[in-house]
Amino acid sequence: MLPIWVQYLQSLLTPTIALAVGIIAYRQWKTAHSKLVLDLFEKRLDVYRHVRSAVSVVNTTGKTSREAELALLEAINAAEFLFGDDVRSYLEGMWHRFIKMNAANAMIEGGDTPEVRRSNIEAQSRLLNEITQFYYEGSDVFAPYMRMEHRLRPPLKTRRQRPAS
């Protein structure tokens, strides 16, 4: 028969190992969660970069281009599952401005009467101003989704319901 202190150590060994395994499992879950948050951030940042590159083309040339339109469409398609409805509707509004800008540029190059040409130039100028507002508004629209503080609830933890008032 073993001394009593050895028996106590043997009996404490199993819970100690179980606790160590639990701590390791929690840390692995936390690491996987951090990777998920980082991956989501990178995908959202890619959408933001697509929009910004499309807007920069319009800002530098005063016209839309096929590449800018494709970049914006890619951003709109990707935003459907990465952002909320606010970002999606903002990007769709941007797309409508791109289409109107393209039409205004085509009308200007069409060479109609001076009055029509002047109104199209004014429309182009207004649309250019609206599109380049992205540099001021875009960060506010995207910012709530770009923070890396998205938290998932830990396993086995229930959410508390807010009391109804």
Residue 88 domain-assigned (yes or no): yes
User: How many percent of the chain have pLDDT more than 90?
Assistant: 42
Number of domains in the chain: 1
Where in the sequence is the domain holding 71, given as residue range(s)? 18-146
Residue 4 domain-assigned (yes or no): no
Given pLDDT bands bounded at 50, 70 and 90, which one contains residue 159?
very low
Q: Can you tell me the distance from the alpha carbon of 81 to that of 65, in angstroms, rounded to the nearest whole number?
A: 26
CA angle (45, 130, 75) in 5-degree steps: 25
For residue 128 the two structure tokens come to 């250019």
Per-residue pLDDT tens digits for 113-123: 778 778 888 88
Residue 107 domain-assigned (yes or no): yes
pLDDT greater than 90 at residue 17:
yes
pTM for the full predicted model: 0.74
pLDDT greater than 60 at residue 90:
yes
Residue 3 domain-assigned (yes or no): no
pLDDT greater than 70 at residue 84:
yes
Residue 157 domain-assigned (yes or no): no
Q: Can you tell me the distance from the alpha carbon of 18 to that of 15, in angstroms, rounded to the nearest whole number?
A: 5
Per-residue pLDDT tens digits for 102-155: 888 888 777 677 787 788 888 888 989 999 999 999 888 998 888 876 554 444
pLDDT greater than 70 at residue 21:
yes
Please, are residues 69 and 54 in contact by the beta-carbon 8 Å criterion? yes
Residue 68 domain-assigned (yes or no): yes
Given pLDDT bands bounded at 50, 70 and 90, which one contains residue 55?
very high
Helix (H, G, I), strand (E, B) or coil at 159: coil
